[in-house]
């Protein structure tokens, strides 16, 4: 009986030491995988998830404009009649042979008619106080005359018509704005310079291409650092038999990609001050951000 118990104890100790030895042999492999940010597929390939940023330039060639014609008169009918007359002249001029080839999307943005009710000005308030003082002085046997301010007691009306259009020839925009002011335009609400669709598409492709280059550069840097940290590469730049710096990534390594495109708009002016002939086109910037899964 004692022999059997001793045999069982020896067998348990033998199994315990075998299990301990096996776990120690697997430990280096586990440490290597825990420091890696990669994922493995069933085919043996590994993947890196990286982000990339890039931008592209688009030449501005289009002016988006919003203009207004405003008139303040003693009657609503007269105010509306004035702005209608001036706006008709402006629309006819934009549709003339001189500018019609360059004008697109001409439309009425808004029509407003607002009454301006008379309000008591500080001068009127002061005159009322002086009148009260004069009445008190008359009761006391004193008298002093005060001059009443000129007060317009009538309600006036302000009518406004706003027009919007797109001009595809930016070199003529300054001259056109000056001529429209002479025809009765009283306000330049907004001027925005943008690029045409062809230029924006070209800049978008350039931005995506630059973002892909940036993503591959980041992936290459992360990959080299990963193998250096795990001891699979010497870190001296020699490839040897390891996969560290010897792995060269290119676009064929990108297996999945999502992208975000940010299109720009550039405000030029919000109001009109003197001549607008100094409108100069610049460049619009298109930005791209991508998330890429890179296989290696």
Task: Give residue 241's pLDDT.
Answer: 42
Phi, psi torsion values for 266, nearest 5 degrees: -120, 105
Residue 141 pLDDT exceeds 90: no
Which contiguous run of DSSP H or E holds residue 84?
Answer: helix 76-94
pLDDT confidence band for 273 (50 / 70 / 90): very low
Pair of tokens at residue 10 = 């020896």
Mean pLDDT confidence for 99-127? 84
pLDDT band per the 50, 70, 90 thresholds, residue 145: low
Q: What separation in angstroms does the CA of 96 have from each of 44, 75, 84, 129, 178?
A: 70, 32, 18, 59, 16
Mark out the alpha helices in 114-196 (DSSP H runs). 122-139, 173-183
Q: Work out the burial of residue 54: count CB atoms within 10 Å of its CB; fewer than 13 is exposed, 13-18 middle, 19 or more buried.
A: buried
Distance between CA atoms of 69 and 92, rounded to whole angstroms? Answer: 14
Specify which of 36-45, 82-91, 247-256, 263-272 reaches the highest per-range mean pLDDT.
Answer: 82-91
Question: What are residue 193's phi and psi, to 5 degrees?
Answer: -95, 130
pLDDT band at 244 (very low <50, low <70, confident <90, very high): low
Helix (H) or strand (E) holding 11: helix 2-34
pLDDT at residue 266 in the model: 56
Collapsing DSSP to helix, strand or coil, 52 comes out as: strand
pLDDT at 277 over 60: no
| pLDDT recorded at residue 14 | 61
Residue 49 is predicted with a pLDDT of 83
Better-scored residue on pLDDT, 190 or 164: 164
Please indicate whether residue 11 or residue 94 has the higher confidence score (pLDDT): 94
Confidence of residue 76 (pLDDT cuts 50, 70, 90): very high
User: Are β-strands 283-295 and 187-195 bridged in parallel, bridged antiparallel, or unpaired?
Assistant: unpaired
Per-residue confidence band for 105, with pLDDT thresholds at 50, 70 and 90: very high
Q: What is the pTM of this model?
A: 0.56
- For residue 269, the model assigns a pLDDT of 44
Q: Where are the alpha helices (DSSP H) in 192-278?
A: 197-230
Find, among 164, 19, 37, 157, the residue nearest to 91 by Cα: 164
Q: Minimal CA–CA distance to 81: which of 65, 66, 93, 69?
A: 69
- The answer to whether 24 and 250 have CB atoms below 8 angstroms apart is no
Helix (H, G, I), strand (E, B) or coil at 213: helix
Please, what sign has the CA dihedral across residues 89, 90, 92, 98?
Answer: positive
Beta bridge partners of 27: none
DSSP-derived 3-state class of residue 95: coil
% of the chain beyond a pLDDT of 90: 21
In whole angstroms, what is the distance from residue 53 CA to residue 60 CA? 23
Determine the longest span between alpha carbons in the chain, in angstroms. Answer: 143
Angle value at C-alpha 54, between 285 and 245, nearest 5 degrees:
165
113 has a pLDDT exceeding 70: yes
Structure tokens at 180: 């429209």
Q: How much is the mean pLDDT over the chain? A: 75
């Amino acid at each position: 009986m004692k022999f059997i118990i001793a045999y069982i104890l020896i067998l348990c100790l033998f199994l315990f030491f075998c299990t301990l030895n096996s776990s120690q042999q697997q430990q280096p492999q586990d440490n290597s995988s825990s420091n890696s940010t990669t994922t493995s597929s069933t085919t043996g390939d590994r993947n890196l998830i990286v982000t990339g940023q890039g931008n592209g330039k688009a030449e501005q060639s289009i002016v988006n404009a919003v203009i207004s014609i405003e008139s303040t008169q003693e009657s609503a009918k007269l105010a509306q009649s004035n702005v209608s007359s001036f706006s008709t002249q402006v629309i006819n001029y934009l549709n003339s042979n001189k500018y019609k080839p360059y004008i697109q999307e001409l439309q009425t943005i808004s029509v407003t008619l607002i009454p301006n009710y008379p309000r008591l000005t500080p001068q009127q308030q002061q005159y009322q106080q002086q009148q009260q003082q004069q009445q008190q002085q008359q009761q006391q046997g004193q008298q002093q005359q005060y001059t009443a301010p000129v007060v317009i007691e009538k309600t006036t009306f302000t009518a406004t018509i706003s027009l919007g259009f797109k001009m595809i020839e930016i070199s003529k925009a300054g001259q056109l704005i000056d001529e429209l002011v002479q025809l009765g335009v009283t306000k330049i609400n907004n001027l925005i310079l943008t690029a045409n669709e062809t230029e924006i598409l070209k800049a978008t492709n350039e931005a995506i291409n630059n973002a892909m280059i940036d993503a591959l550069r980041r992936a290459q840097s992360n990959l080299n650092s990963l193998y250096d940290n795990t001891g699979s590469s010497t870190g001296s730049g020699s490839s040897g038999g390891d996969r560290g710096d010897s792995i060269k990534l290119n676009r064929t390594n990108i297996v999945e990609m999502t992208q975000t495109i940010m299109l720009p708009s550039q405000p030029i002016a919000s109001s009109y001050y003197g001549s607008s002939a100094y409108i100069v086109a610049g460049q619009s910037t298109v930005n791209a951000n991508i998330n890429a899964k890179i296989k290696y």
